[in-house]
Amino acid sequence: MIKCENCFERGKVTFFHIILTTECNLKCRYCYGEALEDLNADFPSFEIDYTLPKRMSYDIDSLDRFCGQDPDCIIILYGSEPLLCVDEIKQIMDGAKAKRFIIQTNGLLLGSLEPEYVNRFHTILVSIDGDEALTDFYRGKGAFRKVIDNLKLIKGNGFEGELTARMTVMEQTDIYKQVRWLLNNDEFSFSSVHWQLNAGFWKKDFARRDFKRWSEENYNPGIRKLVKFWVDYMEKNEAVLRVYPFLGIVQSLKSGEKTSPLRCGAGWINYAIQTDGHIVPCPSMWGIKDYYVGHMSNADPLKLKKFFVSEPCTRCDIFNVCGGRCLYANITKRWSIEAYSLVCNTAQNLINAVVKQLPRIRKLIKDGKIRIENFEFMKYNGCEIIP
């Protein structure tokens, strides 16, 4: 499924997810809960390192030397939960050469980092799944309220960067209702919204779930309604809501770009550095030794091996927009071909829904009500585009 090469033909590596810790302060249904159900579901085709240190085990000077070789290096602080490592975050932000800093967090500890650091983030991606009832269902009672209180705190302390609601989506999610809520509510309205389907990450979960019925009867119709709402909003307000999957697809369709690499950048412009310093193509691929591409103590960030998906993705009629969706899913094959085809159907539905609305978008641009620049965003910032 995967081919890899040793040189870059499409640009420099600029994004690095720094995995600060393998520990988390939540036990979410789709992460911790799924992991418990997936015990003993090993990866027989790969050599896995299950002994990675719980915390970052290399020194900041090594990270600084590594990033310093790439003048465009952007660091994404990541975990499990990176804000369990406040001291390390401050050391990295003070000591590592990076063009920008981003953090992806569950938001429970945002108040523990001083404003002088918080306000330096270009983007904060906060894991929140929608309104209070849904977020607490997935993430635990009280999680929503704590996150919202912290978001209000950092805004009050001067944060002016992008605040992205980073949803995980599965059968309890009404995508149309929850994305609209995150964009406009009485609690806290986010700068932007992105979501990722919980699909293909675990080996045993498909059989006990209702993914087929939900995706066909709820999620796919909800996406079509949501895209229409998005364009209706443009017509009424002459503004473009920052819904990342839609932004990325419109950009591709408008520009006619040939998007063969993965839309998230995994394995060609976006990599992850494990707690032990080894580099992998994607944070989800931590510990898969077959895909280690070097160690940050001696690797050149501009000459890392790169990875692309190949067949059957490259034969698909939406490949130039989809890009293959997920490197981890492609190499690990946790779901069967038949089960994963349902995920491909969600990507097809998403793209078709945007294509259907393109004539309206083109007219709005032609009439001067919106501009093509309104669809611009920082690519490879942790938002996969194809959920």
pLDDT of res. 4: 40
Model confidence at 219: pLDDT above 60: yes
Paired with 105 in beta bridges are 126
pLDDT tens sequence across 356-374? 999 999 999 999 999 999 9
Model confidence at 290: pLDDT above 50: yes
Identify the H or E element spanning 344: helix 337-366
Instruction: Strand 279-280: give its sheet, edge to edge.
Output: 242-243, 192-197, 162-169, 121-127, 100-105, 74-78, 15-19, 270-273, 279-280
Structure tokens given for 122: 């270009």
Cα gap 36→42, rounded to integer Å: 13
10's CB contacts (< 8 A; 6+ apart) are 261, 268, 269
Give the residue-averaged pLDDT of 91-104.
Answer: 96
pLDDT tens sequence across 220-278? 999 999 999 999 999 999 999 999 999 999 988 877 666 658 999 999 999 999 999 99
Cα gap 264→43, rounded to integer Å: 24
Structural domains of the chain in order of their starting residue, each with its CATH number: 11-373 (3.20.20.70)
Judged on CB neighbours under 10 Å (0-12, 13-18, 19+), 369 is: middle
Cα gap 272→287, rounded to integer Å: 11
Q: Which of 383, 167, 360, 176 is nearest to 250 (CA)?
A: 360
pLDDT of res. 12: 60
CA angle 352-322-304, nearest 5°? 170
Phi, psi of 7 (to 5 degrees): -135, 160
- What's the Cα-to-Cα distance from 68 to each of 58, 71, 99, 238, 376, rounded to whole Å? 16, 6, 10, 42, 27
Judged on CB neighbours under 10 Å (0-12, 13-18, 19+), 333 is: middle
Q: How confident is the model at residue 3 (pLDDT cuts 50, 70, 90)?
A: very low
Cα gap 157→176, rounded to integer Å: 32
Model confidence at 41: pLDDT above 70: no
Q: What is the mean pLDDT of the chain?
A: 92
- Residue 162's CB is within 10 A of a number of other CB atoms, namely 18
Q: What percent of the chain has pLDDT over 70?
A: 94
354-357, Cβ contacts within 8 angstroms, sequence gap of 24 or more: 354/227, 354/246, 354/249, 354/250, 354/253, 355/253, 356/224, 356/227, 357/227, 357/228, 357/230, 357/231
pLDDT of res. 13: 60
Model confidence at 2: pLDDT above 50: no
Alpha-carbon torsion (3, 336, 204, 172), positive or negative: positive
pLDDT tens sequence across 322-336? 999 999 999 999 999
197's CB contacts (< 8 A; 6+ apart) are 169, 170, 219, 343, 346, 387
Give the residue-averaged pLDDT of 156-174.
Answer: 97
Q: Which of 275, 371, 281 is nearest to 324 (CA)?
A: 281
Cα gap 359→109, rounded to integer Å: 44
